[in-house]
Amino acid sequence: MKNRTRNLIVLVIFFLISLIIIQFVWIFKAASNQEKQFEFTVVAALNKAVTEFNKQNALCMKVTSCFNQKGFTCCEKKHLSLDQWNFLDSIIKSELAYSKICLPYEFQLSTVPHPHPMEKKEESRHKCFTVKSNLTTTAQESIWLHIAFPERNKFVFAQIGWLFIISILLIVMTIIAFLLIFRYYLQEKMLANDTRNFINNLTHEFKTPLASIRLANSRITKEPDCATKLEPYTRIIRQENDKLDLHINYLLDISRLQKGKMPMNFDRLDLHDQILQQTNSFKLLIDERNGKLTLELIAEKHVVFADCFHISNMLNNLFDNACKYSPMPPEITIKTYNKNGWIKIAISDKGLGIEKTDQKVIFQEFSRVNTGNVHNIKGFGLGLSYVWQIVELHKGKLHLESKLGEGSTFFIELPCIE
């Protein structure tokens, strides 16, 4: 049980970390896609701007003369008149605005495919967009339009900002929820351990007074004057003492099973022999209630590798439940058969049955079937929990089929050996 809980926690943490990584990867991919979309839109807008610029003959001649006469490789704002530069700027701005890009930018015209550094930063070249115009110099050099957006990254992240914020919030909320659940789990685990330790200590404390009662009762029975007169009372004391001692030992055995300290003696075991031995002790009880016990032991392979003591206790628990929860004369059927190398034991009764809601928790500790206001069925609610643990320790499977008012069938599967 501890290993299963530890593995579950590790698995949940792994999935949580994976979810966080996937979320961040998704965010960066969204940013990358947004940046590609931005680049595509800018290039399309610049191509339109260059086409419009080529239609302005006077402006084109002024630009080409700037390169031809003065020998410039780069034409900037200072090389043209203010009106010419502003007109060129208005063409670019209008096309970008039409594409819904309203960012501050810097541009230049150059005969070099790669722009000169703007703002004296080498990385500005990597943030620059270059579009070839139809203009050429007398030396047949093409004139390129270069444009850079200093706040390009801010714009891209602004486009996915709400997605980024929501993703971070969801990740934080998931982590907080996991930590709260884990905290509550630890509290419940501590409470369960404290309850179990209290029951263990209580059962151990009962052992001492029981031993004293047994010793005193034994001394009374040895007194010649009291033996005859008190014999009925001493017999009752002895019987009830033995019964209470049996319950205490049962609780201690379950505690050892939970802590993994119960010694298990695995050996070859004939399940048919065990079923016959256990049913023999119940035949008298069933006959007294005018009930019926049917055995259909048809499994050809019925030898398993198991602990005889715990298997007998497990069968005894299930047979006892079948009798206890049958208010009418009990009709119990026990079948065995083989399937895929396993032996299946089906223990059926026509008793009270179990509701769907109870079936989900029936194998948990201290769980009892709801019988309304009638409390005539005794027990600690540990029998089926013990059965579940024994089946798990034997690498088997346990399954319940039940319908309220029609009875229940418990299916046990154990691996066979030759």
> E-strand spans in 186-315?
266-270, 292-297, 303-307
Q: Are 235 and 362 in the same domain?
A: no
Q: Are 34 and 150 in the same domain?
A: yes
* pLDDT tens, position by position, 65-79: 776 665 566 777 776
Q: C-alpha angle with apex 328: 322 to 333, nearest 5 degrees?
A: 40
Q: Are 64 and 211 in the same domain?
A: no
Percentage of the chain beyond pLDDT 90 is 7
> Which of 132, 159, 186 marks a domain boundary?
159
What domain range is 110 assigned to? 2-159
* pLDDT tens, position by position, 266-278: 889 999 999 998 8
Per the confidence metrics, is the pTM higher than 0.85? Answer: no
pLDDT average, residue stretch 203-223? 76
Q: C-alpha angle with apex 297: 294 to 302, nearest 5 degrees?
A: 150
Q: Are 314 and 398 in the same domain?
A: yes
* pLDDT tens, position by position, 224-253: 666 566 777 777 787 777 777 777 776 777
Q: Are 139 and 47 in the same domain?
A: yes
Q: How far is CA 122 from the centre of its chain?
A: 50
Q: Are 188 and 275 in the same domain?
A: no
Q: Are 7 and 109 in the same domain?
A: yes
* pLDDT tens, position by position, 132-155: 777 766 666 777 778 888 777 776
* pLDDT tens, position by position, 100-114: 888 788 777 777 776
| Residue 367: closest CA among 352, 350, 353, 379 | 379
pLDDT average, residue stretch 186-198? 78
> Which of 259, 288, 311 marks a domain boundary?
259
Residue 49 one-letter amino acid: A
